[in-house]
Amino acid sequence: VRVLGIEGTAWAASAAVYDADRDDVVIESDAYQPESGGIHPREAAEHMHDAIPRVVERALEHARESHDGPATEPPIDAVAFSRGPGLGPCLRVVGTAARALSQALAVPLVGVNHMVAHLEIGRHTSGFDSPVCLNASGANAHLLAYRNGRYRVLGETMDTGVGNAIDKFTRHVGWSHPGGPKVEAAAEDGDYVSLPYVVKGMDFSFSGIMSAAKQAVDDGTPVEDVCYSLQENVFGMLTEVSERALSLTGSDELVLGGGVGQNARLREMLAEMCAQRGAEFHAPEPRFLRDNAGMIAVLGAKMYAAGDTLALEDSRVDPDFRPDQVPVSWRVDEPE
Ligand code: ATP
C-alpha cells in the first residue's frame, strides 16, 4: 500500500509518499518564511497555493519511479490530507488539492487530524503500544492518551500553543521567525532568573510567563538569562504534567510530538523524568517532529487500511478539529 500525504496547516507546504510494505517515507517540503513578524494567514495561504503543486509533483515523481505495477495503474492507493486543526485559508488550499488529486487518480481520500498525526508518528517510529503523548507544537500543547476508541486530552494549554508563545517573546526582542531555535541557542549562555511557573492540575498557561519574560528583557535582564529561564520553566511545566499523565494512566511509555520537540533541553528533561520512573521515552527524528506530510501519509495509510476514507461531500476542512473528535478506526481495542 502506498499513500500520498499532503500537509498544509500553517507554514509547511509538504507532500510525502509512504510505502507501507517497505516502511519507507519520502518527504518533500517547502517552508513559508515571513519577511517580518509571525505567520500571516493570508501570506501563508498564498505560499500553499504556490508551493503545494510543486511538492505534490515531486512526491508523485518518487512514487512513479518506485512503482513496479502497470503504467496504467495510479502510483498510489490513496490521498491523505491534513483536515485540521490549522489556519482556515491554508487548509482550504490543501483540501482542494487533495480532492482534485483523488478524483484525477481515482483513488480514495483520507482526512487526517494533524495533532493525531503528530502523536501517531511517534507511536509508529517507537513501536510503543499505548504511549502517553506530549504534543509540543507551534499552535498547540497537550497530553493525549488512548482510551475506549479515542485519544483523550488529559491536559492542555489554557492559552497559546507553546511554540507560538516562544515566538511572541522572540518577536518582542526583535529576532526573526521561528524563535524556538534562537531561544535554545541563547539559553546556552544563560543563568536562572525567576519567572512565573503555571501548572493548574493537568493544564498549563504560558501567557503570564511570556509577559514577565518580555518585561525582564525591557528592564535590562540579559536576554540569555531570560531565554535560559524561559526554557527551564516552560519545559519544566510540560515535563511535570507529562509525568502526572504517565502516573494517572499507568503507562510506562512517553512519545514526543511537534516542532518544539526538536529542542534538546526539552528532550533531556523528559528523558530524565522517564528514566527516574522506569518509563521509556521516544522522540521521533526532527523531520517527523516539525510539520511534515510524512506523518500525514503514515497515519493516512493506517486509516486507509481500516477503511476509514472520506466521501467527497464530507471532506470539508476544520480549523478547530480537536484530536478527541476522531474515532480511532485503526486500533483494535483490547478487552479490558
Ligand atoms: P501545529 O502543529 O500546532 O499546527 P505549527 O504548525 O506552528 O504547529 P510545528 O512545526 O509543530 O508547527 O512547530 C513550529 C514551532 O516549533 C515554532 O513555534 C518554532 O519556534 C518551534 N521550534 C522549532 N525549533 C525549536 C527548538 N529548537 N526549540 C524550541 N522551539 C522550536
Question: Which domain CATH number covers 276?
Answer: 3.30.420.40
Say how far apart CA 203 and CA 239 lie, in whole Å. Answer: 12
For residue 254, pLDDT beyond 90: yes
User: Distance, CA 166 to ligand 1 centroid (Å)?
Assistant: 9
Q: Are 94 and 181 found together in one domain?
A: no
Q: Whose CA is nearest to atom 2 of ligand 1?
A: 137
For residue 332, pLDDT beyond 90: no
For residue 118, pLDDT beyond 80: yes
Q: For 77-85, what is the mean pLDDT?
A: 98
Query: Does the residue 333 lie in any domain?
Result: no
Q: For 74-100, what is the mean pLDDT?
A: 97
For residue 72, pLDDT beyond 90: no
3-state SS record for the chain? CEEEEEECCCCEEEEEEEECCCCEEEEEEEECCCCCCCCCHHHHHHHHHHHHHHHHHHHHHHHHHCCCCCCCCCCCCEEEEEEECCCHHHHHHHHHHHHHHHHHHCCCEEEEEHHHHHHHHHHHHHCCCCCEEEEECCCCEEEEEEECCEEEEEEEECCCCHHHHHHHHHHHCCCCCCCHHHHHHHHCCCCCCCCCCCEECCEECCHHHHHHHHHHHHCCCCHHHHHHHHHHHHHHHHHHHHHHHHHHHCCCEEEEECHHHHCHHHHHHHHHHHHHHCCEEECCCHHHHCCCHHHHHHHHHHHHHCCCCECHHHCCCCCCCCHHHCCCCCCCCCCC
User: Distance, CA 138 to ligand 1 centroid (Å)?
Assistant: 4
Predicted pLDDT of residue 69 = 82
Q: Are 147 and 214 found together in one domain?
A: yes
Q: Are 149 and 278 found together in one domain?
A: yes
For residue 223, pLDDT beyond 90: yes
Query: Does the residue 99 lie in any domain?
Result: yes
Q: Are 305 and 262 found together in one domain?
A: no
Q: Whose CA is nearest to atom 5 of ligand 1?
A: 138
Q: Are 262 and 307 found together in one domain?
A: no
Does ligand 1 lie within 6 Å of residue 139's CB atom?
Answer: yes
Query: Does the residue 111 lie in any domain?
Result: yes
User: Distance, CA 181 to ligand 1 centroid (Å)?
Assistant: 9
Number of domains within the chain: 2
CA gyration radius for the chain? 20
For residue 36, pLDDT beyond 90: no
Q: Which atom of ligand 1 is nearest to the CA of 163?
A: 18
For residue 68, pLDDT beyond 90: no
For residue 336, pLDDT beyond 70: no
User: Distance, CA 259 to ligand 1 centroid (Å)?
Assistant: 4
The grid coordinates listed for 186 are 541563547
Residue percentage of the chain with pLDDT more than 70: 99
Structural domain including 134 reads 128-285
User: Distance, CA 180 to ligand 1 centroid (Å)?
Assistant: 7
Q: Residue holding cell 528532550?
A: 267
Q: Residue holding cell 507551534?
A: 138
Does ligand 1 lie within 6 Å of residue 170's CB atom?
Answer: no
Top pLDDT among 70 and 168 is at 168
What are the pLDDT digits (tens) for 191-204?
999 999 999 999 99
For residue 335, pLDDT beyond 60: no
Does ligand 1 lie within 6 Å of residue 184's CB atom?
Answer: yes
Computed over every residue of the chain, the mean pLDDT equals 96
User: Distance, CA 20 to ligand 1 centroid (Å)?
Assistant: 27
- ipTM entry: 0.97
Does ligand 1 lie within 6 Å of residue 258's CB atom?
Answer: yes
Say how far apart CA 187 and CA 228 lie, in whole Å. Answer: 4
Top pLDDT among 36 and 89 is at 89
Q: Whose CA is nearest to atom 29 of ligand 1?
A: 180
Q: Are 246 and 140 found together in one domain?
A: yes
Q: Are 110 and 81 in contact, with CB atoms under 8 Å apart? A: yes
Q: Are 89 and 132 found together in one domain?
A: no
Predicted pLDDT of residue 67 = 84
> Which range is least confidently modeled, 34-38, 144-148, 283-287, 319-323?
34-38
Select from 285, 300, 316 the last residue of a domain. Answer: 285
What are the pLDDT digits (tens) for 139-186?
999 999 999 999 999 999 999 999 999 999 999 999 999 999 999 999
Q: Which atom of ligand 1 is nearest to the CA of 257?
A: 11
Query: Does the residue 134 lie in any domain?
Result: yes
Q: Whose CA is nearest to atom 25 of ligand 1?
A: 180
Residue percentage of the chain with pLDDT more than 90: 93
Q: Are 144 and 35 found together in one domain?
A: no
Confidence of residue 334 (pLDDT cuts 50, 70, 90): low
For residue 89, pLDDT beyond 90: yes
